[in-house]
Structure 1
Amino acid sequence: MTIDIDIDDNQHLSNLDAKDIARRYGAELVELETLRYGLLEVARDMHESLVRSSFSPIVRDIQDCTAAIHMRTDAGWETVASREGAMQHAFTAQHMCNFLMEEWDEASLQPGDTIFVNDPWRGAIHQSDVNLFRPIIIDGRVEFVLHSTSHVLDLGGAVPGGFANGVQTHFEEQLKFPPTLLYAGDVPVRPAFNYILENTRVPSSLLGDLRALYGCLAVGDARLRELVDRFGLALVRAGGQYGTDRIEQSMRAAIAALPDGDYPVEDFIDEDGVTDEELRIAATVRVRGDSIEVDFSGTSRQPLGNVGTAWIEGTRCVQGIKMVLDPHSPVNSGTLRPIEALLPAGSAVCTLPPSSVSNHLDIGSRNINMMTTAMSMALPEHGVAPDSGNFAAMMIGGFDDRHGHEGPWAGAILPGGAWGGTYKSDGLTSVTPAIGACRSSVWEHIERESPIVPLMHEFLPDSAGAGFHRGGFGGIFTLLPLATTYATITGDRSKRGAPGVNGGGSGFPFYAWLVPGDDPSVVLDPFDLRGCEPLFGVFDGQGRPVADDGVFGRGARYQTAKVAGLELKPGYALRVLFGGGGGWGDPLERPVDRVLEDVQAGLYSPEFVERAYGVVLSSSDEVDVDATTRLRAELADARKDGKWTVPAACPTNWIV
Structure 2
Amino acid sequence: MNAKLDEVIERAVIANRLDTITKEMGYALERSSRSPIFAEACDFACGICNGDGDLVSQINGIPILAAAGTFSIKEVIRKYSGQVEEGDVFIINDPYQGGNHLPDIGIITPLVVEGKVLFYCVSRAHHGDIGGSVAGSYNAKATEIFQEGLRIPPIKLVSKGQVFNEVMDLITQNVRNPHMLQNDLWAQIGANKIGVVRLRELLYNYSPTRIKGAVGYLLDHAERLTRQAIRGMPDGDYTGVEWVDDDGFQTNPIKIKVTVKIKGEEMMLDFEGTDPQVKGFVNSALVTSTTAAWIGALWALGPDIPRNSGAFRAIKVLLPKGSLVNPHEPAPVTLSTLTPASEIISAIFQALDSVAGERLPAGFGRYCGPSFYGIDPRNQEFYVGFAFCALGSGGGIAGRDGYPYMAPLSNYGGVRAPNIEANEIQYPHLTLCHEIEMDSAGAGMWRGGPGIRYSIQFNGEPTNIVMFGDGMKVPPFGTASGQPGSLNRVELATVDGEKISLASKESARLLPKGTVLTVVSSGGGGWGDPWRRATESVWQDFLNGVISASKAKQDYGVALSKEGVDWAATDELRLMGYRM
In the alignment, structure 1 residue 91 sits paired with structure 2 residue 67: yes
Report the structure number with the largest CA radius of gyration. Answer: 1
Confirm or deny: 8 A CA contact 1:465 1:472 kept in the other structure: yes
**Superposed counterparts of 1:559-574, under 5 Å:** 560-574=503-517
Q: Among residues 331, 334, 339, which one is paired with 1:362 in the alignment?
A: 339
Q: Which amino acid aligns with 1:88?
A: I
Confirm or deny: 8 A CA contact 2:299 2:360 kept in the other structure: no
For residues 19-70 of structure 1, the C-alpha deviation after alignment (integer angstroms, 9 at most, x for no partner) is 6x68xxxx71111111111222222222211111111111111111111111
Q: TM-score, normalised by structure 2?
A: 0.95
Offset, 1:246: 2.4
In the alignment, structure 1 residue 250 sits paired with structure 2 residue 228: no
Between the aligned partners of 1:84 and 1:44, the Cα distance in structure 2 is: 5
Between the aligned partners of 1:569 and 1:29, the Cα distance in structure 2 is: 65
Between the aligned partners of 1:381 and 1:444, the Cα distance in structure 2 is: 39
In the alignment, which residue of structure 2 is the partner of 1:159? 134
Confirm or deny: 8 A CA contact 1:320 1:368 kept in the other structure: yes
In the alignment, structure 1 residue 137 sits paired with structure 2 residue 112: yes
In the alignment, structure 1 residue 599 sits paired with structure 2 residue 542: yes
In the alignment, which residue of structure 1 is the partner of 2:103? 128
Between the aligned partners of 1:588 and 1:532, the Cα distance in structure 2 is: 41
Change in CA separation of 1:257 and 1:532 when aligned onto 2, cut-off 3 Å: farther
In the alignment, which residue of structure 2 is the partner of 1:310? 285
Between the aligned partners of 2:409 and 2:473, the Cα distance in structure 1 is: 21
Confirm or deny: 8 A CA contact 2:298 2:305 kept in the other structure: no
Identity percentage of aligned residues: 30
In the alignment, which residue of structure 2 is the partner of 1:374? 351
In the alignment, which residue of structure 2 is the partner of 1:632? 574
Between the aligned partners of 2:551 and 2:498, the Cα distance in structure 1 is: 25
In the alignment, which residue of structure 1 is the partner of 2:430? 453
Q: Which amino acid aligns with 2:513?
A: P
**Superposed counterparts of 1:101-112, under 5 Å:** 101-104=77-80, 106-112=81-87
Offset, 1:567: 2.1
Offset, 1:517: 5.3
In the alignment, which residue of structure 1 is the partner of 2:551? 608
Change in CA separation of 1:265 and 1:454 when aligned onto 2, cut-off 3 Å: same
Offset, 1:300: 0.6
Change in CA separation of 1:633 and 1:123 when aligned onto 2, cut-off 3 Å: farther
Worse-superposed segment, 499-508 or 159-168? 159-168
Between the aligned partners of 2:508 and 2:251, the Cα distance in structure 1 is: 19
In the alignment, which residue of structure 2 is the partner of 1:508? 486
Q: Which amino acid aligns with 1:567?
A: L
Q: Among residues 26, 31, 34, which one is paired with 1:52 in the alignment?
A: 31
Q: Which amino acid aligns with 1:340?
A: K
Aligned-partner SS, 2:59? strand
Unaligned runs of 5+ in 1: 1-16, 519-530, 537-559, 637-643, 648-656
Between the aligned partners of 1:473 and 1:288, the Cα distance in structure 2 is: 39
Offset, 1:90: 1.8
In the alignment, which residue of structure 2 is the partner of 1:71? 50
In the alignment, which residue of structure 2 is the partner of 1:325? 301
For residues 162-187 of structure 1, the C-alpha deviation after alignment (integer angstroms, 9 at most, x for no partner) is 22111110010110011121112222
Q: TM-score, normalised by structure 1?
A: 0.84
Offset, 1:623: 2.9
Aligned length: 574
Change in CA separation of 1:173 and 1:584 when aligned onto 2, cut-off 3 Å: same
Confirm or deny: 8 A CA contact 1:383 1:422 kept in the other structure: yes
Unaligned runs of 5+ in 2: none
Confirm or deny: 8 A CA contact 1:324 1:384 kept in the other structure: no
In the alignment, which residue of structure 1 is the partner of 2:455? 478
Change in CA separation of 1:18 and 1:379 when aligned onto 2, cut-off 3 Å: farther
Confirm or deny: 8 A CA contact 2:130 2:174 kept in the other structure: yes
In the alignment, structure 1 residue 490 sits paired with structure 2 residue 468: yes
Q: Among residues 101, 118, 122, which one is paired with 2:93 in the alignment?
A: 118
Aligned-partner SS, 2:294? helix
In the alignment, which residue of structure 2 is the partner of 1:421? 396
Offset, 1:572: 1.3
Confirm or deny: 8 A CA contact 2:271 2:318 kept in the other structure: yes
Offset, 1:634: 4.5
In the alignment, which residue of structure 1 is the partner of 2:20? 41
CA RMSD of aligned residues (A): 2.0
Between the aligned partners of 1:490 and 1:408, the Cα distance in structure 2 is: 21
In the alignment, structure 1 residue 224 sits paired with structure 2 residue 203: no
Confirm or deny: 8 A CA contact 1:513 1:532 kept in the other structure: no
